[in-house]
Amino acid sequence: MTLRSRSRRLAFAALTAVFTAGVAACSYNPNTIFGAHSDLGHATDRLTYRLLYFGIGVGVFVWGLLIYAIFRFRARPKSPVPKQIHGNTAIEITWTLIPAAILAILAVPTVRTIFQTQAPAPANSLQVEVIGHQWWWEFRYPQYNVVTANELYLPVGRPVNFTLKSADVIHSFWIPQLAGAKRDVVTNHTNYLWFTPESTFAWNGFCAEYCGDSHANMHFKVFTQPQAEFDAWIAHQKTGPAFPANPSDTTNAPAAPAAQPATATVALTSQQLTVAPSAQQLTAAAAAGPATGIYPASNIPDYVIPNTPPPAGLTFSDVKGDPARGLKLFRSGPCLACHTIQGVSPGVIGPNLTHVGSRYTIAGAMYPNDIKHLELWIKNAPLMKPGVIMPAFGKSPNLPGGMTDQQIADIAAYLSSLK
Amino acid sequence: MATTAATLTRAGAATGYKGGVWSWLTTVDHKRIGQLYLYTSLAFFLIGGLEAEIIRTQLYGPNGTIVSAQTYNELFTMHGLTMIFLAIMPMTAALWNFLVPLQIGARDVAFPRLNAFSYWVFLLGGLFINTGWLLHAAPNGGWFGYAPLSTRAYSPGLHMDFYVVGLQIVGLSSLAASFNFIATIINMRAPGMHMMRMPVFTWATFVNQFLMALSFPIVTVAITFLLFDRFFGTTFYENAAGADPLLWQHLFWLFGHPEVYILILPSFGLVSEVIPTFSRKPLFGYPVMVYSLMLIATLGFGVWAHHMFAVGMGPIADSVFGITTMLIAIPTGVKIFNWLGTVWGGQLRFTTAMLFALGLVGLFTIGGISGVMHSSPPSDLAQTDSYFIVAHFHYVLFGGSMMGLFAGIYYYFPKITGRLMNEALGKVHFWGTFIGMNLTFFPMHFSGLDGMPRRIYRYEAYQGWTTANHLSTIGAYILGLATLVFIYNFLRSRSAGKVSGPNPWGAPTLEWSMPSPPPDYNFAKLPHVTSRYPMWEGKSAEQIAAEPVVKRWEPGTPGATEDPVPTAEQLGIPMPTPTIKPLIAALGLTVAFIGLMAGKSLPIMILGGLIFVGALYGWLLTPVEPEVEGH
């Protein structure tokens, strides 16, 4: 008897603990699917709340009956003899029809919302092409000829239509606090997802479909900005890299950014500049702040800043890199086979690095973008991110011909300068 | 194993079995095969549970480093495969093997050797998949094995080879079993055992066999495609050849959703036995309970694409599959209410079996409700692939299937062994499981709605997920401890449990009319059945209410037979000859598949094939019994 009552008390205490902790956990939920800041989020919310309320109602009802029955009908010395009832048609029909009615109440708005949210995107939508890669995100803005990676910039108030494609396996594109809903990125298929962001802020994005070793590390960040800032960002992205391709050796720099008239022209119109900007001017513009449209670091909440600890045992000596030497190494080394830097290198296997210095994160938004993490990344990417295609480049017993820490620091310094 | 046989004999009635390992390797008796399934599935349940504990330890806090990304991915893949194919399914098979012939009044199943073959194929398939661990190449593409991730281009090495080949082997076992039990239930019922008099567990088993017979061929085709892609260079799922990866998803879930019902229906059947017994009332609305089983199974084939709402099927397909999925909630809800109707006005006796059965009613309801939540595609797009789904299906599979199976094991343990499990330890197990399971899985609703994706080996700090994960991990440890209490109780009660007598619960169905454990021939004289509840037949409501729950059987307890149980020989009942051939056939099959894995070694494959065909010939050319008996 004591065992039974003690275990019952324990059960009650545990359930209370679960409930309290659940409520406590709810008080801090920066990635919640509820209250997502877009029209799609509101549509999803309305349906989910309706399902949740009916669900809780049914659950409380069934548990109420169950608990009542357990206490009321427990066998006692003077319990009445159970009537040998085999069923009751009227009752059984009732408890078939009532759930059916509840489901009808849920089905109608379900179908309405399906057709509403899967309608074609409005004609004035910003088009963004999302390409899932193992394990990073490529974002293309075909209307502006801009390509970037892992950090998505969107204007508020304008519908954005995502065209979702995969370069390898199936991924899933999910920004819980902005869209609520997700959409799979399916190989050899094109999927769509559209919504209108409502608030300016920084948001977490995740890959939601299991896609191999580093599925857990396939994040991205979304920055929503007023239209003007977004325009500035686009204009800045359209320019070439901020760092001159090879300032000390002009004969060897045929593809310097200023020599690209097409991009410069568009930059002119949107930035209202009167003369074609030189690379140095662009660098200065980037340093000046708002004109680049880069989302301000001070407005990024801590949960959007990656805080993955680098792997234990991966060290880097305390050397200072030189960006000019870094550029030379970049151009002569293996980097260009996989990475595009506009006017410098053509690779398309890895993320486009033209403005990598202006990003807040690296490695599929796994690490913060600072010199220290860049150096570690170049030195030994597979150790930093399981399964990654990018090989280790740092000199080690396994790789005697690898780069020295000084060489890596130079490349990191160069990449960091690409604002 | 030898001690088990001896124990059985000591426990109560004589069973007529010979002891020794060889007798277990050659057995074709459904009760012994049922026990083999039971022990094996419990062993795999412990392995799958250990995998879960490592997963939960890794996820206790942010940036867990207990295991690497690859090991974690292997762990969650193997946890799913093990629990679904090697623990829950064979545990249901254990109970229906043991019970169905007893519940319908038959001497054995229709094809006893095929039954043995099913078991051995399952055992070897299970060992085969787990061999991956020993070679550091366990499957790592998820139990759902989505192409193209599972193709050779993205999953080189042996990992997913173990998946395709292992599932192929295990699937054969289920197919063989399904035909066997369909034949048994249709043909071998005792006189008077009309279909609508069958115990609901037999009904659930019957419906289940159709689900297996119809769904496993689909996954067999899907896996054969993948196997050919991986081993012979076909391009069913190859990206580069322009394959449509949704082919795999449609085929897999066309199997995978019926599979969900394959896992739950036997548990529904078990609690439909347990609840009436301990309420001292017949099951409320028996016909509706039977029809709802059939309806759930039928609708179960029309809802598969609700696993795929995010893949972009278009608004019409989304609407249709959303509505069919909602429809399934109706027959399922009816079952819940009918169990409540059975309890209502009863005289409830809270044995451990009854606690687990009522646990299923409550916990499955929670899983059912979250299921309805993601039957609505726009809402599902927010929930799918998040921990909300993990919470949902663990309420269905642990709160449903496992609670029902635990109820069934406590309830039928005395029939299987002749002894009772310890009730005090049973209650510790129940409360530990109930608390641990809720503490593990309820917070996952929150972590999921708070945006935590599934199948991640690590998560970052400050995401709002840490508290929920702390709780889940603590819950998982409580669940693990409770399971150890169960295993101890289970193993110890086989020899140290109180003698149960034939019907310790005052239960109404046919299997409780025979000695515990039943003799090898089951029924000395085939019974003539005249009602749904033979053991309650002709008794007044007062008498039924007065049926005691036996704490320890003493000779002279009402309803007990004190006569010594005669042997088959004395009764002149011909028994099937034990034979090693089903095991050899299963071995041959496995060897052939090992040849495929070992660099497509033709000699090994041919050797395996020859062993298989040879054993099959030997098996077909020897009669089942020494002399043919006409039924």
- pLDDT tens digits, one per residue of A42-94: 999 999 999 999 999 999 999 999 999 999 999 998 889 999 999 999 999 99
Strands A182-185 and A146-149: unpaired
Mean pLDDT of chain B: 93
Chain B residues 272-291 within an 8 A CB cutoff of chain A: 279-288
**Min CA distance, B311 vs chain A (Å)?**
5
**B32-71: pLDDT as tens digits:** 999 999 999 999 999 999 999 999 999 999 999 999 999 9
The rounded distance, in Å, linking the Cα atoms of B387 and B384 is 8
Comparing A343-357, A368-382, B292-306, B431-445, the range with the smallest average pLDDT is: A343-357
Say which of A59, A114, A191 has its CB closest to residue B377: A114
CB within 8 Å: B345 and A82: yes
pLDDT band at B275 (very low <50, low <70, confident <90, very high): very high
pLDDT at A289: 46
What confidence tier does A375 reach under pLDDT thresholds 50, 70, 90?
very high
Q: Do residues B171 and B220 make contact, with C-beta atoms less than 8 angstroms apart?
A: yes
Q: What is the ipTM of this complex?
A: 0.93
Distance CA B310, CA A273 (A): 45
Which of A293, A289, A286, A287 shows the shortest CA–CA distance to A270? A293
Does residue A160 or residue B565 have the better pLDDT? A160
Residue A257 has pLDDT above 90, yes or no: no
B379 catalytic per annotation: no
When computed from its CA atoms, the radius of gyration of chain B, rounded to whole angstroms, is 24
Contact B319 A114 (CB under 8 A): yes
What pLDDT is attached to residue B626?
A: 67
**Chain B residues with CB inside 8 Å of A118's CB?**
314-315, 318
Average pLDDT value for residue range B597-612: 95
pLDDT tens-place string over residues B505-553? 999 999 999 999 999 999 988 999 999 999 999 999 999 999 888 888 8
Which residues in chain B have their CB less than 8 angstroms from residue A86's CB? 282-286
pLDDT at B241 over 50: yes
- Averaged confidence pLDDT in chain A: 86
Catalytic residue among B32, B107, B281, B306: B306
Q: Which of B108, B161, B380, B511 is catalytic?
A: B108
- Residue A288 sits at the chain B interface (C-beta within 8 Å): no
Catalytic residue, candidates B79, B197, B374, B581:
B79
Its pTM stands at: 0.91
Q: What confidence category does residue A119 fall into, taking pLDDT thresholds of 50, 70 and 90?
A: very high
B350 interfacial to chain A (CB closer than 8 Å): yes
CA–CA distance, B266 with B277 (Å, rounded to integer) = 17
Residues in chain A with CB shorter than 8 Å from the CB of B63 are 308-309
| Residue B332 bears catalytic tag | yes
Identify the band that residue A1 occupies on the pLDDT scale cut at 50, 70 and 90.
Answer: very low
Q: How far is A414 from chain B (nearest CA, A)?
A: 29
Interface of B with A in 163-222 (CB under 8 A): none
pLDDT at residue A264 in the model: 33
Residue of B nearest to A32 (CA): B450
What whole-number distance in Å separates Cα of residue B67 and Cα of residue A335? 31
Per DSSP bridges, beta strands A219-225 and A151-155 are: parallel
Instruction: Give the mean model confidence (pLDDT) for residues B132-158.
Output: 95
B149 versus A241: which is more confidently predicted?
B149
User: pLDDT tier at B570 (50, 70, 90 boundaries)?
Assistant: confident
Q: Is the pLDDT of residue A288 over 80?
A: no
Contact B380, B311 (CB under 8 A): no
Q: Which residue has the tokens 């009730």?
A: B423
Taking residues B150-157, report their average pLDDT. 95
Q: What DSSP designation does B239 have? A: G
The single residue of B335, B394, B415, B494 carrying the catalytic annotation is B335
Is the Cβ pair A82, B347 closer than 8 Å?
yes
- Residues A175-184 pLDDT 10s: 999 999 999 9
B133 touches chain A (CB under 8 A): no
pLDDT in tens, B6-34: 333 334 556 778 788 999 999 999 999 99
User: Which of A252-261, A302-311, B194-203, B415-424 bottoms out in mean pLDDT, i.e. has the lowest?
Assistant: A252-261
* Residue B51 is a catalytic residue: no
Instruction: Report the pLDDT value the prediction gives residue A15, as an integer from 0 to 100.
Output: 65
Do B454 and B388 form a contact (C-beta atoms < 8 A)?
no
CA end-to-end span of chain B: 33
Residue B66 contacts A, CB cutoff 8 Å: no
Among A246-250, A289-293, B360-364, name the one with the lowest average pLDDT: A246-250
Give the pLDDT mean for B265-293.
Answer: 97
Contact B464, A27 (CB under 8 A): no
Measure A140 CA to nearest chain B CA, in Å. Answer: 21
Q: Is the pLDDT of residue A273 over 50?
A: no
Active-site residue B173, yes or no?
A: yes
